[in-house]
Structure 1
Amino acid sequence: MQEQVHDRGQEQDRERRGLLRIGLAEVHNPSMVPTLSPGDQLVMRYGAVVRAGDVVVMRHPFRQDLLIVKRAVERREGGWWVLGDNPYVENDSREFGMVPDDLVVARVWLRLRPPPWAGGGQLSVVGALSWVPSAVRLVSAGRWSRGAGGAAGAGRSAFRRLRAR
């Protein structure tokens, strides 16, 4: 996921002025499937408190000009252990280790799924009606827990578990 972000000096200036610090980003890679898919738009809050289970946007530890989206799994000494929800993609803490707090840019709040006809597909009433309930969904879940299954279990979002009930 790539996005141009204001430098920290501008962010601190906006914070001092009390402006609402909301941003948008687009998902480009499948590391957060099934929670997020390529093409999804993310509404995120800069400077929000991060808790275990939250989906966050952060600077890649090795390429800080690249923004990535991951799930903050566990707070450890030195930063956050982050994982993607897709167990088959290992571009996360298993590859690059702990992510320092100063690389965490924002906490994701909402996912906006693009309509199926936006990519050139045909518009139909049935398609539109089936898209509407899943178009906007809260992403971060404060009550998320690792659960069974190691990294694969850690990658499951609370919303995936709720839909399964």
Structure 2
Amino acid sequence: MPSALYAVLVTGPSMAPTLRHGDAVLVRRGGRAVRPGDVVVGVFRSRPGLLVVKRALRATDGGWWVQGDNGLVTDDSRAYGVLDVQGRVVVRYWPRPRWRFRYPRV
């Protein structure tokens, strides 16, 4: 299956300081496998109607245990369990691209 890019708008503070409310990112569906430390987009099995952006920590139960970069916000796997990943964030393109910016690995 070929990989596809699509845009996602970040809402809320859970990924600050890496991503902030209002940032727009490109997400790659397919391509290389998700690795711990990647910033991913997906849905929690317990909240299938909510698309979220989080950092992948470890593979578990056929999905991923994820956490936001803002430790004060706990709307991640600590509250909702396993995430089914739909894609991997490859670049933030709005506002002002950070050229050569790589998301830090955990």
TM-score by length of 2: 0.85
Alignment correspondent of 2:10: 27
- Per the TM alignment, residue 77 of structure 1 is displaced from its structure 2 partner at its CA by 4.1
Report the secondary structure of 1:90's partner residue.
Answer: coil
- Per the TM alignment, residue 97 of structure 1 is displaced from its structure 2 partner at its CA by 1.8
- Per the TM alignment, residue 59 of structure 1 is displaced from its structure 2 partner at its CA by 1.3
Alignment size in residue pairs: 103
Question: Which letter maps to 1:40?
Answer: D
Alignment of 1:1-165 (within 5 A): 15=1, 18=2, 20-48=3-31, 49-99=33-83, 103-114=84-95, 135-137=96-98, 138-141=101-104, 144-145=105-106
Q: Which has the higher contact order (CA 8 A, sep 6+)?
A: 2
Is the 2:47–2:80 contact (alpha carbons within 8 Å) kept by the matching residues of 1?
Answer: no
Provide runs of 4+ in structure 1 moved above 6 Å.
none
Bigger helix fraction: 1
Is the 1:29–1:38 contact (alpha carbons within 8 Å) kept by the matching residues of 2?
Answer: yes
Instruction: State the Cα RMSD in Å.
Output: 1.7
Report the secondary structure of 1:107's partner residue.
Answer: strand
Deviations 1:74-102 (A, max 9, x none): 22344211000000100001111222xxx
Is the 1:71–1:85 contact (alpha carbons within 8 Å) kept by the matching residues of 2?
Answer: yes
TM-score by length of 1: 0.57
- Percent identical among aligned pairs is 43
Listed as ranges, the gaps of 5+ residues in structure 2 are none
Is the 2:27–2:91 contact (alpha carbons within 8 Å) kept by the matching residues of 1?
Answer: yes
Is the 1:82–1:98 contact (alpha carbons within 8 Å) kept by the matching residues of 2?
Answer: yes
Listed as ranges, the gaps of 5+ residues in structure 1 are 1-14, 115-134, 146-165
Q: 1:98 and 1:60 mapped to 2: Cα distance? A: 6
